[in-house]
Structure 1
Amino acid sequence: MRNDGRTIAGVAYGIGAGALWGLVFLAPELVPEFGPLQLTIGRYFFYGLFSLCLLAPIWHKLKPLLGRREWLALGWLALTGNVLYYILLASAVRLGGIAMTSLVIGFLPVAVTIVGSRDKGAVPLRRLIPSLALSALGAVCIGWQALAGPASESVLKQVVGLLCAVGALISWTCYAVGNSRWLMRLDHVSPHEWNMLIGVVTGAQAVLLIPLALALATESHAALAWMKLAGVAAAVAILCSMVGNALWNRMSKLLPLTLVGQMILFETLFALIYGFLWEQRLPTALEYVAFTLVVLSVVSCLAVHAQPRSNVSHAAAPPYSDAHSQKGS
């Protein structure tokens, strides 16, 4: 097919983004003395700072292209895809564990794909049911052992952790869908520039959270601990937020939303792989089954999109993407 090259490149970008994003699950383990809010502020402060430095030389070119609608979208995407999502994710990992959080976040492909199936020209949902079923089964296998085993925390903590994970699922689904659609309609702003703009807005939101973090602080930390937090936050900002998001945005320009959803599975897979390395153990039989189901889910989804179809185009306009000025309103 003439779009095979675009699809292969898009999948490669998706795998790269997942490999980097999986690292965020390790961050709470690397600096356990700091809470989710402090981790979030540190990560996105550096993300915003680095983005600002990269945008400064081209700001004169970008400023006229951004209107009120674009800035509102940037604020909403920064909140749902970064600040709110990471606070909820880190809280879920702390309260419910990595396995339970992975189980819930593992349903992201299902949620995004179902939403994407409503787009004009998208692959019909009925043709994606086998892929969605494999995805759901893989997610269930990933978290089954932790949920079936004895809980190490109180029931209340488990429930709150589960609610945080569900909140993270909803938050990032909104981001994935909204970001993909905005990238399709923004011909005047590159994916890299859009990523940096989101970074600047996210950094501003992180700065606004500093007074809240100071008010909620219950213990002091040594200078070495703060330096460790800064190092972890800077590394996560560069690898996950900047490089990972840049790869994801490139992928979103190449693949339809129904296939974009499947790419999120790689974040869960790599998060588990890093978890096994951190815990210095091999996957269990059930975890091997989960890996197999996840791979089959992505492969089956790719097969559906590779089948000839007359009216499907990854660049099809979303339901609400009517013409708008490049400079916004």
Structure 2
Amino acid sequence: MDWTVKAGKLSPEKLRSLIFNRLHRRRSDILLRPGLGEDSAVIDFGDEVCVVSTDPITGASCRLGWLAVHVACNDVAANGAEPVGIQAALLLPEGVQDEFIGQLIDDMDAACAQLGIEILGGHTEVTTQVETPLVVITALGRAPRDRYVTSAGAQPGDIIYVTKGVGLEGTAVLASDHRETLLSLGVEEAVLQRAAGFFDRISVVPEALAAAEAGASAMHDITEGGFCGALWEVSAASGWGCEVMVEAVPVLPETKAICAALQLDPLALISSGSLLITAPPQVSIVEAVARVGAKAYPVGRVAAAAEPVLILPSGERRRLTMSVEDELWRFLAGK
């Protein structure tokens, strides 16, 4: 068997051949099942649906529990579902300290308190099979049956929005876990302190629920592969292309500074905390998101085309490739 794959997500080709094409059992009450660009399952429960999503945290060490809860809950919220609770699988290396475990659970509990959800259970294990802690979270949410949202819902003519700024999670991880490297490259201490604070902006639950209620046609939590990866996945799920003006994509000053120092592309940096939304022009996404204290920026449109395209400041049109390597993994691989 060929195990020569890079760190990160499996390629779309491998997902299709090794996973999706081997899933043959179908139930009538499963409304959304595994597919490119879809991070959750949607299960019919009558007047409501249950939305379920699972996510690991593998590229961060600081505030691991807080990040794990929010990242998983972001996925169900991106389907228009209100998170209800989580289950956690904690795989811990031999020699792990009690203090670490206690802090991990405290951070998870604090994230749950912010979201108004519970830790429903899970599994803990100390194992020789991991060298660093691995946290895997399954989030469960609920939504009205007639108002859940999928990545496949984007339609030609829809406006594409991005909330807050891209690269939030990656910026916070780099500022926290690689502070000394960044200081040596000339990034100011004040910039790193502000960037580490981006962990507190990781949740997209309020703006996702507001956008779903307003009439968003599709949403996608911008995680691994960053904005470029999310854009490609929405295009793959919906079957439509898109055109995005690169200059319109919001990148915060701290993200610009850290990415410039490390020679990373902020548009391909893991971006939990930022949400990609599509909606018909008559839907007031900017106003809906503003009512919950977030900003949404129009960056382009869904197009009746075969592929997503980035329009550079020079006017050059750059086609997005099928597989986007996340800049955080590229940085970690080079250390």
**Which band: TM-score by shorter chain?**
under 0.3
Give the TM-score, by structure 1 length: 0.27
Structure with greater proportional helix content: 1
Structure with greater proportional strand content: 2
Give the TM-score, by structure 2 length: 0.27
Higher relative contact order (CA 8 A, sep 6+): 1
